[in-house]
Amino acid sequence: MGKIALQSLQKSRIPHLALSISTKRASAQSKSRCLNQQNTLPLSSRCYNSLSRRIAKGSENLDGSKTSFRRHASTTSRPGPTLPASQPQSHPQHKPRPTLAQRASAEEVLRQRRAIDARKRIHMSSNTYFWICSLFGFALSTYIVYTYMSYSRSLKEYEGLDLPQNADVSSRWLDKSRQFDDEVELSEKFMGLRNLREHLCREARGNVLEVSAGTGRNMGLYRLDPMLVREEKKVKSLVFNDLSEIMLLQAQKKFEEAQEKIAEEKRSFSGPVQFVVGDASERTLIQRPEGGFDTIVQTMGICSETNPVAFLKRLAELCRQPGEKSTGMDVKVIEKEAQERLEDLQKTKDYGAAEPEQEGEQLDALIVEAGGDLGGKILLLEHGRSTLGVVNRILDNGAKMHADHYGCWWNKDIEQVVKDSGLIVERKRRYHFGTTYEYVLRPRPRSKPDEREVLTSQSEIEGAVVDLSEGVKAKSWGSGWFSRG
């Protein structure tokens, strides 16, 4: 092949072209001779030769030492790119497992770190609580000091006021500019008096009389919905009474608004409703229905009465007497309740219960005497003297101030008033250091009615009946909606 190349170079005018052509011809001739030789070799030799050629070709490409002829005029070969030498891979070595001692020490370190973090959190939270409690204590002490100073200054102002204990202060309710509900709303919410009112009013049934109704703070607490109340718990008629015409007008407005909201659903109260202005202790003011009132409700009214004992005695006369037939309740319901009372009393005697108190003995004697029928209920919710001497001193010192502003004496002894009235105490509870009283009273049975009382009841004028479901403007106990007794 070298000779052929030299001859072509000598004959050719363009040496480099001749060299290129001669090289291609020589390579083609050498390939053909190699193929002929491979065809004559056995199959195993051919496979080995092809594999060796592939390995050689790969090594030449990696080293970059093989030269290649190009079609351009330059005959110099360029070196191929050099690759970094491959490093042998190192297999990862497994760490030895920690011993029990090492694990225990690691857990101890973690425990110490957690304890340190917990102490830091407690320290931060204690600082937060300290500042919160300090601010709250400062605000509370400031409020107490301010209240005490205002209270002391008010007491000095009212020392010279000529207002004897239990004097008539009803004129304080005649001011039309005052918003009575707003003045007592906050204190009643704070003391939870609405819940006590509701619990008491839910016991009302039959013919109901509410005296000292005021602005009607009990209006939405009665069970008047005929669709939600059982027959034996229903209210048949309502009579509202108060000494203040201004307050009773507000109560009547509340009742009408409440009935208008449910009138379209046919759930409004369909019984007779009366509003009476005047002193309920007067015999000619409120007419006693046939069979008396099954329930009489009185909330926060005795504190404003000048003669509370006579007031309670009059309520006992208006109430249904033990054994008297009711016109506002089903007779079967009354007989069933009377039988249950007798059975409970007999069980108590049979089991040999502890000796009852004097009031309990009076109630048991009343049950036996009346055949189990205790008559109507008088439900009282009042405020008065406390069971603590410190609270009583505060009430006594501020009695004039409170009576002059709110028109009630908040230091009356309600317990003594109930005892003097002669009524039978069925239930008694006290709240707020003993200043709030809850009573369920029963009238004491009388053997024969007084002739004077019978003549008085016959001469009483029958009042008009108001049916708000028909929307008719009522006639009064004299003229208009209201009249004074």
pLDDT band, very low/low/confident/very high, at 461 (cuts 50, 70, 90):
very low
Is pLDDT at 383 greater than 80 in this prediction?
yes
Is pLDDT at 448 greater than 80 in this prediction?
no
Handedness of CA 363, 367, 372, 375 (dihedral sign): negative
Q: Computed over its alpha carbons, how large is the radius of gyration of the chain?
A: 54
Check residue 28 and give its pLDDT: 67
Residue 93 CA, chain-centre distance (Å), reads 65
* Interacting residues of 131 by C-beta distance below 8 A, sequence separation 6+: none
Q: Which two tokens stand for residue 181?
A: 């509900």
- How many whole angstroms separate alpha carbon 183 and alpha carbon 196? 19
Q: Which two tokens stand for residue 480?
A: 């208009």
- Domain ranges for the chain: 1-30, 111-160, 171-458
Selection from 288, 306, 305, 278 nearest residue 485 by Cα:
278
Residue-by-residue DSSP string for 346-390: HHHHHTTPPPP-HHHHHHHHHHHHTTT----EEEEEEE---SSHH
Check residue 216 and give its pLDDT: 93
Determine the residue type at 448.
K
Inter-axis angle of helices 15-40 and 2-11, to 10 degrees? 150
Residue of 414 and 467 predicted with greater confidence: 414
Residue of 364 and 385 predicted with greater confidence: 385
- CATH fold of the domain at 171-458: Rossmann fold (3.40.50)
pLDDT single digits (tens) 55-102: 555 544 444 444 444 444 444 455 555 555 555 555 556 667 777 777
Check residue 166 and give its pLDDT: 86
For residue 163, what is the DSSP state?
A: -
Least confident of 29-38, 78-87, 306-315: 78-87
pTM of the model: 0.65
Proportion of the chain above pLDDT 90, given as a percent: 33
- How many whole angstroms separate alpha carbon 451 and alpha carbon 448? 9
223 three-class SS:
coil
pLDDT single digits (tens) 316-328: 999 999 989 999 9
- How many whole angstroms separate alpha carbon 441 and alpha carbon 455? 26
> Buried b vs exposed e over 412-425: b needs ≥16 C-beta within 10 Å?
bebbebbeebebbb
